[in-house]
Amino acid sequence: MGVSRPRAALAALRTTTGRRVVGVVAALAVTTTGVAAVAATETKTQPRPRIVVPPVAVQQAGGVTTLPALPALPPLELPDPNSSIPPESLTPPLPDGPQTWGLSSVASGIPAQAHAAYQAAQRLLSSADPGCRIDWALLAGIGKVESDHGRWGRNLLDSAGTAVPGIFGIPLTGAGVARITDTDGGRFDRDTTYDRAVGPMQFIPGTWKSVGADGNGDGRRDPQNMSDAATAAGIYLCSGPGDLTQPGDLTRAVLRYNHSMDYVAKVTSIAASYRSGHSVLPATALPPGFGDRAPYLPPAGAAPRSGGASATPSPSTAPSAKPKPKPRPAPSSKPTAPAQQPAPRPAPTTAPAPRPTTVPKPKPVPAPPPPTLPKVTATPVPSTTVKVDPDPFSPGDTVKITAGAHVGVTTKILKVDTVKNTVTVAVTVLGAEVPVTLPYSSIAPVK
């Protein structure tokens, strides 16, 4: 009996009724253990958000409170490979004069790529942090103050909204600015000694590591790209609690970006003007060869833009200041005074001079020769533009495929990934252009 009963129980479990009983027991077990047991069995259906806004307010890296403004550009040295491109004309002109190239705009003009980037960033942030209530105009105000919407340093925005050839600030050496030694190996700021603020929204590399974002969904976080930089600026401003439609919260957020009430007033006033009306400049292709330009890397101590473009001396004016103190050997002209004093004494008419006509004229007395000034050779001041080897390939370059399925095909580069050392080119397959990604080693430039 003791053995037959367990066998009978097992047989009962194999019946339909038995399975139902087991199911009820399992359901009761799930109910008593809580929803965690149910959640563990569910498949994940929620996609991972593209951006995440930190719940705690992000601060600038390295204890920085105020970043230096981009400096005034040095005079453009001609001939320039792009001298045929007309400089931007601004109406009314900026106090510092034209600083950018290739576009004509009015004071409120925003390049189309930048305008689209600001609006896309607002949409992402509205989804990630609806309580922040940031709008595109505030991001545009920062973009205007920081880099003229990515056009400072004779930059242009390419079709993807990336500043070309790139925007780099003053090295943070500690001389009048914060001191931050290199933290990124020069990856973002092309400086392996000190950090520099980079990109249209001027992030230092340490802060970019905290808030850098992939705003355009291309799989990269590029501080020179307007979409990525504008989204990162929004994450920075929205981090922590706060509603940016409230004046107090707005002021505190912008002060974290740059601790200056003048900066807050300038950014918010520009944002207000954009909300009331603005013009959008149509997107244009980069001029041929523009991507080959070396970016301007300001040297330490470069004068800020508020001083005007003339604050940076040109090479032609620097040497002329040195010879001015040299003419001080003029004291050698004093012997002319004693030469004139004895002149009246030899004038007596009683002197039996054979040629009296020469006596009353003191001027024929030879005066000492003028002092010979040392010859000064003007030493040209070294150019402030730091030559940096550009990446081996740039969008728009014509290249020939040297390996792979499309060997021998000549095409143009659509996109360059300097992190993975790959390029994306257009290859015609069955009459249609198809983007193909290749390593640097599989292509060669066509001269």
Question: How do residues 342-369 score in pLDDT, each as one tens digit?
Answer: 444 544 444 455 554 555 555 555 655 6
Indicate if 281 and 154 belong to the same structural domain.
yes
Total tally of structural domains belonging to the chain = 3
Helices (H), 101-189: 112-128, 136-147
pLDDT at residue number 221: 95
pLDDT at residue number 255: 95
Helices 247-257 & 226-238, crossing angle to 10 degrees? 120
Last-in-domain residue among 308, 333, 359: 308
Are 89 and 106 contacting, i.e. CB atoms less than 8 angstroms apart? Answer: no
Indicate if 39 and 105 belong to the same structural domain.
no
Instruction: Give the predicted TM-score (pTM) of the model.
Output: 0.55
Are 399 and 412 contacting, i.e. CB atoms less than 8 angstroms apart? Answer: yes
**115: amino acid identity, one letter:** H
* 56 domain-assigned: no
* 314 domain-assigned: no
pLDDT at residue number 416: 83
Indicate if 42 and 112 belong to the same structural domain.
no
Indicate if 103 and 36 belong to the same structural domain.
no
pLDDT at residue number 177: 87
Indicate if 40 and 65 belong to the same structural domain.
no
Question: Beta strand 109-111 with 279-281: parallel, antiparallel or unpaired?
Answer: parallel
User: Could you give the CA distance from residue 200 to residue 178 in angstroms, rounded to a whole number?
Assistant: 20
Indicate if 105 and 206 belong to the same structural domain.
yes
Are 272 and 166 contacting, i.e. CB atoms less than 8 angstroms apart? Answer: no
pLDDT at residue number 428: 84
Task: Look at residues 104, 125, 115 and name the one whose alpha carbon lies nearest to residue 149.
Answer: 115
Indicate if 90 and 227 belong to the same structural domain.
yes
Low-confidence stretches of the chain (pLDDT beneath 50): 1-4, 10, 13, 16-43, 78-107, 306-344, 346-351, 356, 376-390
Indicate if 239 and 297 belong to the same structural domain.
yes
Indicate if 114 and 32 belong to the same structural domain.
no
Indicate if 30 and 155 belong to the same structural domain.
no
Give the H/E segment covering residue 416: strand 410-417
Indicate if 402 and 302 belong to the same structural domain.
no
Give the H/E segment covering residue 412: strand 410-417
Domain that holds residue 197: 61-71+84-308
Are 74 and 384 contacting, i.e. CB atoms less than 8 angstroms apart? Answer: yes
* 93 domain-assigned: yes
**Contacts made by residues 148-152, CB under 8 angstroms, sequence distance 24+:** 148/99, 148/100, 149/110, 149/111, 149/114, 149/200, 149/226, 150/111, 150/113, 150/114, 150/200, 150/226, 151/88, 151/99, 151/100, 151/101, 151/103, 151/111, 152/70, 152/73, 152/99, 152/100
pLDDT at residue number 208: 96
